[in-house]
């Protein structure tokens, strides 16, 4: 074992530290490290968790990637999706694709004696991914979309249900209008109520049978307005979007869920800035405290430094001893910081103690993303940055004269 490392361990685990100034200094250093780790872990895990949760909610409702007709011109009302060049089978065979579902969207109004609400009726068929949608359901059930006849069951958002004073099994009239035609009235029964916590979705969308949407839009039985493509992982969206676009046909186009609501993505982008800023502040605090610990330990052990120099130890060896010593002081702080931080995160992950206002944050509880890579990176990063930061103040040792140091009391 090298001399500096051996000597560092001897003084780090020496019982002499328990009854002198070192005990307080060591405690302060470990406490600052633990707090830095706790705050960094919570910031990274909740920040990344929020980003992922919001993206997944958007994607799980409307598809990670949607294929639409270029004739729709970004309108809520679907135009007929062209089959020219559309290779739906190949899209479904892509390794990252989990499922696809066809739909037709049409705008309208829900009205009753209590209120009215502008809505987007999203008509879906027998390939509707009900398992993916079920996580949003808060009351009732998901309609059975068989595409046989006209299924009048619908699923509405909790926001619309509250505005119109609707409950499960209530009936509601929807009004749809087309240019140069009389309004079309359709009576539906509410069988399910959902909640995504994303305002732009909850304020507008209701889910119903695709045949109603076909009738309203004047489409044939085989025609559809779009295809929702669901991926196995939201992280694949940027990679797979160009591939799916190539298979969508030249008269159609694709849009990613992350591009569907740009205002939400602008909000999500703030998380990266906040995470970087908080981690930077915590690193500065930890480094300042650790440097102070090192300086005080050097001053306190001036006598020992003089003895080491007298015995032939070089300034480089003594600097290494004290840097190692300070880093060893940090290790218990890192351990306890990780244990406490992970404890908080696990409690939040499984019990959802901290709530949010979905109107402002698009989420009702703080989500947590516990990633072992980030956990290790934070701890190792703090150690590495601290080790580099300790090099400069450790040069104080070279200024200590052996003769004066031995006389130092």
| Judgement on whether residues 13 and 77 belong to the same structural domain of the protein | no
First to last CA, the chain: 31
Residue 219's alpha-carbon distances to 106, 161, 210, in angstroms, are 12, 29, 10
Dist CA 335 CA 256 (whole Å) = 41
Among residues 200, 229, 259, the one where a domain terminates is: 259
* Chain segment 190-228, per-residue pLDDT in tens: 999 999 999 889 999 999 999 999 999 889 988 999 999
Same-domain status, 281 and 360 = yes
Residues 366 and 378 occupy one common structural domain: yes
Query: Are residues 343 and 197 part of one domain?
Result: no
135 and 167 in a single domain? The answer is: yes
Same domain membership, residue 238 and residue 336 = no
Q: What is the pLDDT of residue 1?
A: 47
Looking at 259, 275, 310, which one is the last position of a domain? Answer: 259
Within 10 A of 82 (CB to CB), how many other CB atoms are there?
A: 17
SS3 content of the chain, % helix, strand, coil (to 5): 55, 20, 25
**274 and 236 part of one domain:** no
- Give the bridge partners for 66, in sequence order: 228, 255
Which pTM does this prediction carry? Answer: 0.82
Give residue 11's pLDDT band: very low, low, confident or very high (50, 70, 90).
Answer: low
Under 8 Å between Cβ of 165 and 115 = yes
Give 123's pLDDT tier (boundaries 50, 70, 90). very high
Average pLDDT over residues 60-76: 86
Considering 259, 275, 293, which residue would you say is the last residue of a domain? 259
Section 257-271 average pLDDT: 87
Largest CA distance in the chain: 104
Identify the residue with better confidence: 305 or 285: 285
Grouping H, G, I as helix, E, B as strand and the rest as coil, residue 84 is coil
Number of domains into which the chain is organized: 2
CA-to-CA distance for 367 and 55, rounded, in angstroms? 12
Whether residue 189 is found in the same domain as residue 286:
no
- Give the domain extent around 295: 3-56+265-407
Note whether 311 and 237 are same-domain residues: no
């Amino acid at each position: 074992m090298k001399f500096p490392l051996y000597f560092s361990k001897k003084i780090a685990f020496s019982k002499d530290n328990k009854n002198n100034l070192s005990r307080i200094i060591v405690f302060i250093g470990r406490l600052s490290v633990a707090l830095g780790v706790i705050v960094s872990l919570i910031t990274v895990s909740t920040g990344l968790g929020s980003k992922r949760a919001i993206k997944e909610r958007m994607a799980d409702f409307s598809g990670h990637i949607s294929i639409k007709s270029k004739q729709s011109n970004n309108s809520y009302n679907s135009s007929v999706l062209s089959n020219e060049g559309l290779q739906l089978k190949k899209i479904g065979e892509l390794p990252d694709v989990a499922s696809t579902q066809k739909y037709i969207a049409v705008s309208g109004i829900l009205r009753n004696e209590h209120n009215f609400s502008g809505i987007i009726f999203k008509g879906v068929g027998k390939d509707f991914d009900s398992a993916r949608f079920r996580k949003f359901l808060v009351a009732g059930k998901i309609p059975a979309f068989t595409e046989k006849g006209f299924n009048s069951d619908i699923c509405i958002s909790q926001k619309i249900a509250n505005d119109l004073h609707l409950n499960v099994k209530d009936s509601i009239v929807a009004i749809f209008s087309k240019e140069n035609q009389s309004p079309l009235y359709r009576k539906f029964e509410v069988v399910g109520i959902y909640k995504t916590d994303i305002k732009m979705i909850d304020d507008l969308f209701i889910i119903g049978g695709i045949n109603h949407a076909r009738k309203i839009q004047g489409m044939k039985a085989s025609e559809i307005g779009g295809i929702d493509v669901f991926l196995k992982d939201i992280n694949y969206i940027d990679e797979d979007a160009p591939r799916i676009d190539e298979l969508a046909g030249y008269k159609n186009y694709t849009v990613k869920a992350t591009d569907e609501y740009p205002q939400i993505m602008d909000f999500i982008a703030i998380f990266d800035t906040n995470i970087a800023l908080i981690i930077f502040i915590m690193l500065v605090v930890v480094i300042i405290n650790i440097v102070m610990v090192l300086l005080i330990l050097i001053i306190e052990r001036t006598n020992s430094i003089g003895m080491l120099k007298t015995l032939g130890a070089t300034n480089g060896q003594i600097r290494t001893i004290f840097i190692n010593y300070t880093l060893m002081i940090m290790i218990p702080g890192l351990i306890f910081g990780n244990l406490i931080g992970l404890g908080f995160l696990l409690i939040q992950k499984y019990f959802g103690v901290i709530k949010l206002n979905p109107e402002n944050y698009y989420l009702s509880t703080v989500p947590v993303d516990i990633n072992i890579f980030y956990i290790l990176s934070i701890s190792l990063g703090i150690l590495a940055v601290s080790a580099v930061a300790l090099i400069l103040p450790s040069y104080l040792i070279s200024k200590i004269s052996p003769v004066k140091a031995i006389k130092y009391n």
